[in-house]
Amino acid sequence: MNSVADSHRDGSGFTADPAAGFFDEMFGRGDQVLPHYRKLAEAFAELGAAELEAKRRRLDLAFLRQGVTFNVYGDTRGAERIFPFDLVPRIIPAREWERLENGLTQRITALNLFLHDVYHQQQIVKDGVIPASCILSGKHFRREFANVAVPKDIYIHICGTDLIRDDRGEYLVLEDNARCPSGVSYVLENRRAMKRSFAGMFESVGARSVDHYAQELLKTLQYIAPPGVADPTVVLLTPGVYNSAYFEHAYLARQMGIEIVEGHDLFVREEHVFMRTTKGPQPVHVIYRRIDDDFLDPTVFRPDSLLGVPGLIRAYRAGNVSLANAVGTGIADDKVMYYFVPRMIEYYLDQKPILPNVPTYLASEEADLPYILEHLPELVVKAANESGGYGMLMGPKASKAEIAEFRRRIEADPRNYIAQPVIPLSRHPTHLDGRFVGRHVDLRPFILCREKTVIVPGGLTRVALRAGSLVVNSSQGGGSKDTWVLYGNE
């Protein structure tokens, strides 16, 4: 068997680059493969370059053939692309995962308590922990839902929290996606692809399964069925085939064995929701909605919405249908609210946050604004309510004109912006052009909330395929990796 060191000679092996100054998932800060990566490195060293290339081509073809694709906006022809997939999996040892699990559970628990509070007594505001103005000015705060009870007091049932690691390997929370987080289908499909291509490696390394996600999700949805409904009908509400995440919607519906519906498949009669079927109207009890609050019901929110269901909100308020996630969770993943999450954890749970935030400056804080404006070329600026890498300024990479443009925007609407130092994201060996090179990664685990919190071990590891890039979004040249959580620590 080749040792890892031997494989360096033919150029196909993994190499450490401690001088680059980043934390490397495989090497840490040093030049030796970390214990939990050892078996994987050995297994890869046995594969020739040609064999790897062949596996990779087969995988790309399989993804295309299966239609595991996403749509790119503004690209009308041939708009579907496969999400580039990297062959080298990211590995998380058991003790590290346990800490992540505890940290994420703590965080989602606090966020759900916060949402209940903010839509009821607003004690956290009264106690001066969060300024009222920050909440009331939030674009996704739904004041019409004040004092509306939601089933089991859970607001966020499905959360996708983005984690990064800094140059010391410290995990930090980058953001909470508490509205319609997407990407879990790639977690499942990437695993399927890896199992097919590297069956042997799974045996030797021992990664925990992610296959039960769909069952857990279904249980989570059934858990919030309206009272008295023993055998609830659950559906997934999609914007439709032109949505970027349509593949995922169809995929999850299929895995759960539930109907995927569009707004015009549903209608409301006497505050109950029905779907139009070939056998006439059928009642619907729980809706896993993958459309934003704004589009849910044209009679309450955006009147021009063609995607929603007129009367849905009345049925929801009457408690005859449940929505996951609940209406109004957007206030919890507002980037200004993000700043306060560590305080929420202390306030509601009386605990220290297990997973820290990235240091954050609020443009709306008098103390922070001048600092932000002075240091724009060093900072990352984010709009409070955008996602997917849109509405963002990467100071160090931005042109003077872009910086000036953001300065104008921040000054015009400080509530809408936060700034953070550029975090030198950890890197991971990635197979590109026949070589293994370090590329920056992040991690999005998916968290499910019912009577307990369930986190399927793993998550979506996104990787910035362009050299030096810190942006992992698919629309900006990002790809993904399978994520293996080990049973043990090596």
Partner 1 sequence: MLSRVAHSLYWMARYIERAENVARILDVNLQLFLEFANRDDDDRHDRWLPIVRATGDLEVFRAHHPRATAASVAEFMVFQQENPNSIVASVCQARENARMVRDQITMETWEELNHLYLFVLSPQARQIWLDSPPDYFNQIKTSSLLLGGLSAATHLRNEGWWFNLAGRFIERADKTSRILDVHGQALPATGLPARLSQADALAWVSVLRSCSAWDAFKSLYGADVHPRHVAEMLMLNENFPRSIRFCVERLDEALRQISGVSDRPFSNEAEKLCGRLAAELRFTSIEEVFNAGLHGQLDQIQLHLNQIGEALFQTYIFHAFETGPETRRVQQEEQQQQQLP
What is the binding site for partner 1 (CB under 8 A)?
Answer: 64-67, 70-71, 73, 83, 160, 162, 177, 179-183, 186, 239-248, 250-251, 253-254, 259-262, 264-265, 275-279, 290-292, 295, 304-307, 333, 387-389, 444, 460, 462, 473-475, 478, 480
Rounded to a whole number of angstroms, the minimum distance from the CB of residue 465 to partner 1 is 13
Rounded to a whole number of angstroms, the minimum distance from the CB of residue 460 to partner 1 is 6
SS3 421: strand
Tell me whether residue 33 or residue 258 sits nearer to partner 1 (CB atom).
Answer: 258
SS3 471: coil
> Within 13 A of 454's CA, how many CA atoms are on the CB side?
18
Rounded to a whole number of angstroms, the minimum distance from the CB of residue 267 to partner 1 is 10
SS3 327: coil
Rounded to a whole number of angstroms, the minimum distance from the CB of residue 281 to partner 1 is 10
Tell me whether residue 86 or residue 248 sits nearer to partner 1 (CB atom).
Answer: 248
Rounded to a whole number of angstroms, the minimum distance from the CB of residue 178 to partner 1 is 8
Rounded to a whole number of angstroms, the minimum distance from the CB of residue 371 to partner 1 is 27
User: How far is it, in rounded angstroms, from Cα 323 to Cα 36?
Assistant: 40
Structure token digits, residue 372: 């932000």
Tell me whether residue 279 or residue 400 sits nearer to partner 1 (CB atom).
Answer: 279
Rounded to a whole number of angstroms, the minimum distance from the CB of residue 260 to partner 1 is 5
Q: What angle in degrees, to the nearest 10, is found between the helix axes of 49-66 and 184-197?
A: 130
Tell me whether residue 141 or residue 186 sits nearer to partner 1 (CB atom).
Answer: 186
Q: Counting beta carbons within 10 angstroms of the beta carbon of residue 468, is it exposed (0 to 12), middle (13 to 18) or buried (19 or more)? A: exposed
User: How far is it, in rounded angstroms, from Cα 421 to Cα 394?
Assistant: 10
User: How far is it, in rounded angstroms, from Cα 379 to Cα 392?
Assistant: 11
Residues near 260 by beta carbon (within 8 Å), at least 6 away in sequence: 235, 236, 238, 249, 250, 253, 254
Rounded to a whole number of angstroms, the minimum distance from the CB of residue 266 to partner 1 is 10
Residue of 412, 337, 375 whose CA lies nearest to 117: 337
Tell me whether residue 233 or residue 360 sits nearer to partner 1 (CB atom).
Answer: 233
Tell me whether residue 243 or residue 320 sits nearer to partner 1 (CB atom).
Answer: 243
Tell me whether residue 389 or residue 424 sits nearer to partner 1 (CB atom).
Answer: 389
Assign residue 220 a region (left: φ > 0; alpha: ψ between -120 and 50; beta: otherwise): alpha
Tell me whether residue 202 or residue 267 sits nearer to partner 1 (CB atom).
Answer: 267
Question: Is-contact 249 236, C-beta < 8 A?
Answer: yes
